[in-house]
Amino acid sequence: MFGLDNNFILLFFLILFLGLLLNYLLIKNYKKLNLTIFLDSDFKKPQSFHKENILRIGGLSFYIVFIIIFFFNSKSYYDLFFLSSACFFIGLIDDIKLSNSPKIRLMLLLFSINLIIFIFNIETPKFYIFNLDALLSKSIFLNIFLLSICFLIVINGSNFIDGYNGLLIGQFFIILVIINFINYYYFNYELLFFGIAFLALSISLLFFNFPKAKLFLGDSGSYLIGGILSYLLIKTSTSTKFSIPPFFFACIIYYIFFEVVFSFFRKLILEKKNPFYPDNKHLHMLLFKLFKKNNILIKANYKTGLCVNFIYLTSLLPLIFFYKNLFWLKIYFFLLLVFYLILYFTMRYKCLKK
């Protein structure tokens, strides 16, 4: 065990160094490498919260290091490789301005995820909701469809919260710490290999993204992180043989889940708008508006990321006491819904009042 721990420590620092070096070189030499197409200069879009050109190459550096990680792993996770590649290249469509249609990207994601789940037979966690598990055992198509929806929610949720310094990468870091602890405890060393590597990679990205951003993840990076998070959460849940109920993993991904699902119904039902197009009324955006009242733009940006992640981390602490209790996990899942709804409408009221 001691030797194994040393290998993980070595892996962590190697990936950290590689990530820092690659990001530094890309930022310093982006003109020589003809990467100017990755500059984010659209300040009029509703989800833009910066006033200077910043490179959206975090996804590119992440994917390059991911390829290296994948080929050096002793056990080949081809499902993770193809899923991550699909997410990266579909997000890249927007980053290099081939298309800015969210519907096209959504359709491509849905097709790719369904195909990967079917080919590699990715196992679906138990939902413990009425007779849903019994229905899933009888229908492979329903199984694939629901699992793909889970992937889509996390991938699109990751894309929603990108753009604020440290927000998405901070979420990625916190969730990875939890996943890595579980995989270490249950001796899932193959998954732990990826988790440790991604943890180091997240720190290397955070160094250039917080507090002042020198790079963004872009759609390619946020899709990639969302795909990896989905995969690790589902694989960790199924590999523990459900010793930890899947509702625990639903709780630790709750903030991202809330941003997607609530925003969809908010636009569709409350505001009678197209739910697939962006606006500036998400929870973290409302918090940003309140910070911007008394702070310059850069400070309001990173304070938003810091504050949301602090609230998110604090909301996870009670899970320590009942992480194996299905009944209380279901109750807490509902309480999280109430908490975030109260928080959202409080922030919205304060913004309207201002």
3-state secondary structure 92-129: HHHHCCCCCCHHHHHHHHHHHHHHHHHHHCCCCCCCCC
Residue appearing with tokens 């001796």: 187
Higher pLDDT, 300 or 22: 22
Give residue 95's pLDDT: 86
Reported as a single tens digit per residue, the pLDDT across 227-256 is 999 999 999 998 877 688 889 999 999 999
pLDDT exceeding 70 applies to what percent of the chain?
93
Average pLDDT over residues 314-341: 93
Cα dihedral 335/341/343/345 (nearest 10): -160
- What is d(CA 152, CA 109) in angstroms, rounded to the nearest whole number? 7
State the pLDDT confidence band at 113, using cuts at 50, 70 and 90. very high
Instruction: Give CA separation, 161 vs 46, 128, 146, 288, 299, in Å.
Output: 13, 29, 23, 12, 17
Kindly tell me if the per-residue pLDDT of 287 is higher than 50: yes
State the pLDDT confidence band at 5, using cuts at 50, 70 and 90. confident
Give residue 48's pLDDT: 53
| Within-domain flag for 117 | yes
| Within-domain flag for 59 | no
| Within-domain flag for 55 | no
Contact predicate 315/234, CB 8 Å: no
| Within-domain flag for 177 | yes
86, two tokens: 């699909």
| Within-domain flag for 198 | yes
**CA 288, chain centre distance (Å):** 20
Residue appearing with tokens 């019994």: 134
Give residue 180's pLDDT: 95
- What is d(CA 63, CA 47) in angstroms, rounded to the nearest whole number? 24
Return the bridge partners of 39, or none: 55
- What is d(CA 39, CA 57) in angstroms, rounded to the nearest whole number? 8
Most confident of 79-93, 130-144, 202-216, 290-304: 79-93
Kindly tell me if the per-residue pLDDT of 310 is higher than 90: yes
Model confidence pTM above 0.85? yes
State the pLDDT confidence band at 61, using cuts at 50, 70 and 90. very high
Give residue 75's pLDDT: 64
State the pLDDT confidence band at 2, using cuts at 50, 70 and 90. very low
- What is d(CA 299, CA 50) in angstroms, rounded to the nearest whole number? 11
| Within-domain flag for 56 | no
Reported as a single tens digit per residue, the pLDDT across 195-206 is 999 999 999 999
Higher pLDDT, 239 or 177: 177
Pairing type for strands 39-40 and 54-55 reads: antiparallel
Give me the number of domains the chain comprises: 1
State the pLDDT confidence band at 51, using cuts at 50, 70 and 90. low
Reported as a single tens digit per residue, the pLDDT across 71-108 is 877 567 899 999 999 999 999 998 888 877 888 898 99
Domain around 100: 2-41+70-353
Average pLDDT over residues 253-266: 91
Instruction: Give CA separation, 83 vs 115, 119, 141, in Å.
Output: 10, 11, 19
Helix (H) or strand (E) holding 42: none
Higher pLDDT, 304 or 76: 304
3, two tokens: 């030797």
76, two tokens: 């080949």
DSSP code for 40: E
Measuring CA to CA, which residue among 62, 104, 101 is closest to residue 85? 62
Using DSSP's 3-state secondary structure scheme, residue 226 falls into: helix
| Within-domain flag for 53 | no
| Within-domain flag for 54 | no
